[in-house]
Every structure is written in structure tokens, then in C-alpha cells.
Amino acid sequence: MIAKIMKGSDFRGVVNYILNEEKGTQIIDADGLFLENNDTIAQGFIGQAQMNPKVTKAVGHIALSFSKEDAPRLNNTVMAQIAREYMERMGIKDTQYLIGRHFDKEHPHVHIAFNRINNNGKTISDRNDRFRSERICKELTKKYGLHFANGKEQVKIDRLREPDKTRYELYKILKTEVGRCRDWNTLLERLERQGVGVQFKYKGQTDEIQGIVFSMNGYRFNGSKVDRQFSYSKIDAALARDNYGERQTQPQPLANREEISPTASGGGELINGSLGLLTPSNAPEEQQPYDPYLRNKKKKKQRKINW
């Protein structure tokens, strides 16, 4: 289950889209509206929105899509129940809404139109709505035992329209190249060969990079809008990890070792016998192996107070 959230100002437009006869629409739930026809529905939305004319985008529009594997169990009653629970968790309540189910695609999906001006004339908050929506969709998918799709990996690119088509092409390029590159120079060269432009965004008048913008086919996208894993900071971290991993797999030269030749003490005896090597017990203090436990014991003895 995934949700696409949109906001606008044209109630007639969203009502006509949802109730388009070519999509085989069925109204599966509604509240606070007179459902005689498209015009009466739109007029109902518009009338309530006028309670708070300062809000220019009073139209809420959410598309809830489900995996085609769930189609046999998603009848209208179940889909309406899930949609209502989704709205409740999103804080979309005490307001007018219309839920229409479309049948123009192979996967089950519904469209929700709601008034962002609630029944008391107050605005329904959209703060962090996309992040909240993503979390709620996962929770409801798990609660109802629905199929977890693999996100962008199952997108049918031939059905996408611009700029989403270019965005998805860019997603596939970045997923491949970021995974195989070890530094920014190599990544930028590979992207340029495939027609992808890159522009960095800087903080104020400083040299500190705080964002990245990709351009392709005449469209521009912030890195995080292509996918959250392609923000500047996350790409930079991925390149650093790849570079570190490559260095770790390369054979490391052995450190030069100085041979310690047998030496005689003032009495003419070897320090540690026939091998002529220093043993830990006889080694000078600076050559003793580091033992934090022993160091702590020494410190404790030094702090002992004699009464």
C-alpha cells in the first residue's frame, strides 16, 4: 500500500477526475456531501472551504494504491475501511470527504478527495504529511496482511508520464552508478556520459555543499526527490563507504620489523637466554604490551589515601 498526496484549489477538477466514467468509478464512501451529481458534490466542498478563505489550497487529494496480489481480497467494503483508517491516522477527520474506486488499472486503487477546511472552519494540518503517510501505509499494510511491494523496482516505466518517466530513468542510473563508483569525480564522469547533469547547492556564500540537483531530458530534480537515498549527504556517505571497503580488501604491506640482536648485561648474561629476544617480563617499560587493566590498577594505587 502506497499513498500519493496532492493539494490544490480546484474542487470541480478533482471531483470530475475521481468520478470520470471512463475509469469505471464506484463511490465507496462519502461524508458531508450531497451526491446527486458532480456539481452538487463540488458545490458542497466549495461552500465549506469559504469558512476559511485565507487557505488557498483547500483541496486534499490522496491516491491509495495496493498491490495486484491483494486484488482478490480487496472488495469495496475492505478498501473503504482501510481508507477511513488511513485518514483517521493522518488527522483527516471531522471534514467532508469522497472516496472513489477506479478500475482502469490492474492494481486496486482508490482516490480520496477531502476538504482541508474542516467542519469547524479550521485547517487540517499538512505538516510532515508525506513522512507520516509513509509510516502509516507500512503500518496498515502489516495490520491487514497486505503484500509489501518492492517500490520502484516494480514500476512499469512505459506507463509513466513526464516528468515521472525521466525521474524513474534517473533513479535507475543513480542506483547503478553510485553503487559502482568510489569517488565524486568518477561518479560525475559516468553520469555526464549518460546525459545527466549535476549541480551542487552551497550554504550561503560558503564552500559548504548542502544539496545536489540532477538534470536530465530538460527536467531538474533535487537528489532527495529522485529518492531519499540520493540526497547529497547520503551519496557522499555511500561513496566514502565504497572507497573504504575497496582499501580494506587490498593487500597491506607488512610493517618493517627491526631484529633485536642478543646483548649482554653488565654481568655478561643474555637478557632472555638462547633466542636473544626480549620477553614481556624483562622488556623495558616502553615495550611492554598495552594493558588497560594494569594501567587502571596503577592509577588506583596512586590515588590511595593513607590515614
pLDDT digits (tens, 9 = 90+) for 86-106: 999 999 999 999 999 999 988
Average pLDDT, the chain: 83
Measured distance CA(306)–CA(27) in Å, rounded: 88
Decide: 281 and 289 in contact? Cβ < 8 Å. no
- CA nearest 58: which of 20, 112, 113? 113
- Helix (H), strand (E) at residue 248: helix 232-249
112: helix, strand or coil: strand
For the chain, which residues score pLDDT lower than 50? 253-301, 304-307
Measured distance CA(246)–CA(205) in Å, rounded: 35
- CA nearest 16: which of 59, 52, 72, 79? 59
Res 248: pLDDT = 60
Measured distance CA(215)–CA(192) in Å, rounded: 10
DSSP per-residue codes, 3-60: EEEEEES-HHHHHHHHT-GGGT-EEEEEES--TTSHHHHHHHHHHHHTTSTT-S--EE
Crossing angle of helices 232-249 and 184-193, rounded to 10°: 110
Res 241: pLDDT = 86
Q: How many residues are there in the chain?
A: 307
Res 153: pLDDT = 57
Residue ranges in 91-163 assigned as alpha helix (H): 129-143
Res 238: pLDDT = 92
Res 161: pLDDT = 84
Measured distance CA(112)–CA(62) in Å, rounded: 5
Assess whether the previous peptide bond of 163 is cis (omega < 30° from 0).
yes
The strands making up 219-222's β-sheet, listed across from edge to edge, are: 197-202, 209-216, 219-222
Q: Is the pTM higher than 0.85?
A: no
